[in-house]
Amino acid sequence: MGYHWNWGIFWEMSPEGTGTYLDMIIQGLRMTLITAALAWAIAFIMGSAIGVLRTLPGRAAPLLANAWIELFRNMPLLVQLFLWYFVFPEVLPAAWGIWLKQLPGAAFLTSVIGIGFFMSARVAVQVSSGIEALPQGQRAAATALGLTPVQTYRYVLLPMAYRIVLPPLTSELLNTVKNTSVALTIGLAELTARARAVQEFSFQVFEAFTAATLAYLVINLIATLAARWLEARVRVPGYGRA
């Protein structure tokens, strides 16, 4: 192949004047991790709430939960980010919209909220399927013991439901990390965007993308091992397949 490899590129100073090309990749990695962590916090909290709503008796709560899930599942993440970034400030009262657009971390804030809400629909589906996987008798037994609905979820249903869906939740967490790369379209300086910038400055395409690829693989490996450790740690001895 007529491509000139130069792995030494990472130790050369970047034209941005803030460090080497390797520093650019590391800054990108840091941005990816911070964005993903905050987005995951939103996704986990909102997703759990929506997932619980979906399993409540009656019709209104499940309907609301399903509407939320369908809304955020049926639009591409990229389109959702554009809605938050370009459309949302315009539909607000003018003064708020201008304030929002001039916020220094607008791309970061948009990414956290956009990816967080997008992922919340997926977390909600997992959480509700975890609750539904529990034997009906558990809810009945909790009621018979005199637990309120809140107590039933807090002490009986959710602790087991989370254990059941720990593996799919782990992959949703990893999806959150991967999805932060979509935010490069609104200017977030995350890992893929920084790898792209290294490529544009240095013309070393494949070295730059290899660095980003390795970083994603390492994140994946660490998260998978951590999840495996957590699964073993929170396992309830003798309980089903969990």
Partner 1 sequence: MSNFDFEIIHRSLGYLFFEGMRFTLTLTLLSALGGVILGTLLAMARLAGGPILSAFAAGYVNLVRPLPLVLVIFWFYFLVPYLGQWLTGASRPIHVGGFASALITFIVFEAAYFSEIMRAGIGSIPRGQSAAAMALGLNYRQSMRYVILPQVFRIMLPVLLTQTIVLFQDTSLVYVLSITDFLGAASKIAQRDGRLVEMYSFAALVYFVFSFTASQGVRYLRARIAVPR
Tell whether residue 60 is a contact of partner 1 (CB under 8 A): no
73 binds partner 1 (CB under 8 A): yes
Which residue intervals of 133-165 are DSSP H helices? Answer: 136-144, 149-151, 158-164
d(CA 76, CA 185): 13
Toward partner 1, which CB reaches closer, 157 or 219?
219
Decide: is 107 part of the binding site for partner 1 (CB under 8 A).
Answer: no
Here the tokens at position 155 are 């002490």
Q: Which residues pair with 13 in a beta bridge?
A: 20
Least distance CB 95 / partner 1 (angstroms): 14
φ, ψ dihedrals at 189, nearest 5°: -85, 60
Query: Can you say whether residue 91 is alpha, beta or left, with left for phi > 0 and alpha for psi between -120 and 50 degrees?
Result: alpha
User: Which residue of 66, 129, 138, 220 would you call a contact of partner 1, by CB under 8 A?
Assistant: 220
Does residue 75 touch partner 1 according to CB under 8 A?
yes
- Binding residues for partner 1 restricted to 176-195, rule: CB under 8 A: 177-182, 184-185, 192, 195
CA 220 to CA 218: how far, in whole Å? 5
Least separation in angstroms between residue 209's CB and partner 1 is 5
Q: Using CB under 8 A, which of the segments 14-22, 72-80, 130-138, 154-162 binds partner 1?
A: 72-80
Amino acid sitting at position 74: N
Q: Distance between alpha carbon 197 and the CA centroid of its chain, in Å?
A: 24
The letter for the amino acid at 198 is V
From 29, 43, 77, 125, residue interacting with partner 1 (rule: CB under 8 A): 77
CB closer to partner 1, 138 vs 175 = 175
Provide the CB-side half-sphere exposure for 223 (13 A, CA): 22
The yes or no reply on residue 212 touching partner 1 (CB under 8 A) is yes
Q: Please report whether residue 102 would count as binding partner 1 according to CB under 8 A.
A: no
The binder of partner 1 chosen from 8, 15, 19, 76 (CB under 8 A): 76
> What is d(CA 144, CA 59) in angstroms, rounded to the nearest whole number?
23
Which residues of the shown chain bind partner 1 in the complex (CB under 8 A)?
Answer: 1-3, 70-71, 73-80, 82-83, 86-87, 90-91, 174, 177-182, 184-185, 192, 195-196, 199, 205-206, 209, 212-213, 216-217, 219-220
